[in-house]
A and B are shown apart, each in its own frame.
Chain A
Amino acid sequence: MTTLAFAILLAACMVAYALNRRAATGIRDGGQRLHSVSGYHGLFALLMILVPVLVVILFWLALQGAVVNTLIMSSLPDGTLDGLGAGQVDLILAEIQSISSGRVFGDPEPWKTAAAERFSGMLQTASLGLVLVTALLSLGIMFFARGKVSAEFRARQGVEKIVSGLMIFCSVVAIFTTIGIVASLAFETIKFLRLVPLTEFLFGTSWEPQIPIRADQIASTGAFGWIPVIVGTIVITIVAIVIAIPIGLLSAIYLNEFAPKTVRSVCKPVLEVLAGVPTVVYGFFAILVVAPAIRSLGAQLGIPVAPNTALAAGGVMGIMLVPFISSFADDALSAVPRALRDGALALGATRAETVMNVLFPAAIPGIVGGVLLAVSRAIGETMIVVMAAGLMANLTLNPLESVTTVTVQIVTLLIGDTSFDNPKTLAAFALGMMLFIVTLIINIFALRIVRKYREAYD
């Protein structure tokens, strides 16, 4: 029945478009000058139906279930729900619903079967109502829109208004989603901070997120200081960026300024393939190739190296980030006007001097944009570090030791059987919140730096 409602809407849209368009064409052929071309009259009718009716259908579908459930529960014989908890009431409702869809277990009480029948009836009425409402509303608007068609009617302005309204709606959706995400994070974080003091979380140097299963368990108190975890993230991010920036920038400069066309036409797609490699595959590469190589190298040099070093995870992550930085830098360099390049070359600057002194400063905003994106990716990257970094929170700056990261901890805290009322689980949300704040601060700082040092070329 829902499909039917959508079909009616679609048909009404098409009919209204055709009607209004033909009516407008008729007026024009009658010798009058139309304000808007006939296509706009058709489009106006189409949008006038599509937008409101679609909204009505979606609201109807969203509310239908809740309304029907309430009606069913209040129609049960008096006294059946007396003294029952919320869980048991939900159970009864679920049973009624499954009986009505034909899945009957055991011998249900007669009042449940009766309720199930009422339930199916109500659902049917509801869908019928939806179809009726859709049809009536579509028809009504169609007549209204048809009545609007006249030589003076400003259909184009009408269409533009509706379309710009739609665009505003779409941009608002993105903003509200972000606000929603932050709000849900904040909500859980506050719950966490009720159980663990803020000072312990922010300044504690020990991260052992265990909680007692039994009250009398020995060695059961957890520690929730995030410092070792964020330091791990920072170490891995720095390793990744230190590897990604020089490789990414130099390859972009080479491809943009020095490479012959044939080399460029091969290398650029290959770099883009690198951007498409799933991070899980990078994780394999890190644990199977890079980590053992670093370890055996360390053994030969007599340096103690942990099996899952920050260097291995960060190094592979750096390779993952190369295409980000190089494609951003490449675009930024290409966007510098040819006139600037020619100006420098005509002064007798070599290509390298032109790149370093003229193109690079002019391209800085774009390049920093790429680096920023890379840093955010490195901080938020999960799969590589889950596979290749450690699990133990280890407060160290040595990249040859095993460290853990914020994202790894979030994953491990939320894996398995979890209940949402103990600090162990809630800590994941607090970590997520901190990750969000750190990335935000980095973005703000970087934007300021760019604004201060950029050399605008227009």
Chain B
Amino acid sequence: MDDLRTVSKDVDANNTKISAKNVQVYYGDTHAIKDVNVEIKERTVTAFIGPSGCGKSTFLRSINRMNDTIDICRVEGDILIDGKDIYDRDIDPVQLRARVGMVFQKPNPFPKSIYDNIAYGPKIHGLAKSKADMDEIVEKSLRRGAIWNEVKDRLHAPGTGLSGGQQQRLCIARAIATEPEVLLMDEPCSALDPIATSQVEELIDQLRENYTVVIVTHSMQQAARVSQKTAFFHLGNLVEYGSTDDIFTNPKDPRTESYISGRIG
């Protein structure tokens, strides 16, 4: 753990974007998330770390209500984005997901062309008025996804033909194309090699200027490299939440200390 290059930035002055209050998540009879309270800051990268099965992905998926697609999953408590409860009756999960983008563990480009992959979100939400408009959105998203230079000459080639790292950046660009406010990333680098990983990490750092990013990661080094705030989950509990510097250098809870020093995992 000597090579931790923790990014020390003062983000506490930022406004709260997402706030969870007493959140419980059940899969059938299993109590997967127990009483989680957390305040996620705007324009900040927040990392969720913890051993496998600790509930960090489950919690992430409740922020854009992807858990709704699982029949046996039940969410209790309040999750507020900009002060509005997203589990309120009048919230349409489809519109919510357009505001809260998500990138998955395994790159999952649609079996369509690169252009169509990016254009799909804007098209279904009616963001482009004309073909030229759409071209502009596609180019802007691909540029923000740091992949424009690699694909600009083959926009109509299938997205599935790209390499793993390129596919993942394509998926990030696709998520950005709908102009979300929050970007959720579920272990976005776990299927990538080290070079692709560092490219994606660099991209995440850039995204912080425009988006609130929440990233689930298994790699503590990654959490230390890209995030400003870190939350440590263990057995469904949020054990400790604070600035990344504090969590890694001065953990308050003995469980956090054991985890980051490699004793539990």
Interface of A toward B, CB cutoff 8 Å: 260-261, 337, 339-350, 353, 357-358, 361-362, 455-458
Contact = CB atoms under 8 A, between A and B. Distances in A.
Interface string B86-112: 000000001111110110101011111
21 contacts: A339-B106, A340-B108, A340-B111, A342-B108, A343-B104, A344-B120, A346-B104, A346-B175, A347-B97, A347-B98, A347-B174, A348-B94, A348-B121, A349-B94, A349-B121, A350-B94, A350-B124, A358-B110, A455-B158, A457-B111, A458-B160
Contacts of A362: 110-111
B193 interface: no
Nearest to A345: B69
B125 interface: yes
Contacts of A345: 66, 69, 97
Interface string B134-175: 000000000000000000000000101000000000010011
Contacts of A350: 94, 124
Interface residues of B, number: 29
A261 B97 CA distance: 25
Interface of A is mostly: helix
Given A343-B171, A361-B112, A456-B111, A348 B97 contact: yes
B178 interface: yes
B198 to A, nearest CB: 24
B64 interface: yes
B95 A343 contact: no
A331 B264 CA distance: 42
A341 B71 CA distance: 15
Nearest to A348: B98
Interface in B206-224: none
A65 B193 CA distance: 72
Interface string B114-130: 00000011001100000
B101 A347 contact: yes
Contacts of A457: 111, 160
Contacts of A343: 104, 108-110, 171, 174
Contacts of A361: 111-112
B178 A347 contact: yes
Kindly list the 10 A-B residue pairs having the minimum CB-CB distance in the complex, ordered from nearest: A348-B98, A455-B111, A339-B108, A346-B102, A348-B97, A347-B121, A343-B108, A457-B111, A350-B94, A348-B94
A342 B108 CA distance: 9
A455 B106 contact: no
Contact of A342 (B66, B71, B95): B66
A348 B160 contact: no
A340 B104 CA distance: 10
Nearest to A346: B102
A346 B97 contact: yes
Given A342-B104, A346-B104, A455-B112, 15 more contacts: A337-B108, A339-B104, A340-B110, A342-B66, A342-B102, A342-B108, A343-B171, A346-B101, A346-B102, A348-B125, A349-B120, A349-B124, A353-B124, A357-B124, A456-B158
B66 to A, nearest CB: 6
Contacts of A358: 110
Contact of B71 (A261, A339, A340): A261
Interface in B67-92: 69, 71
A348 B123 CA distance: 11
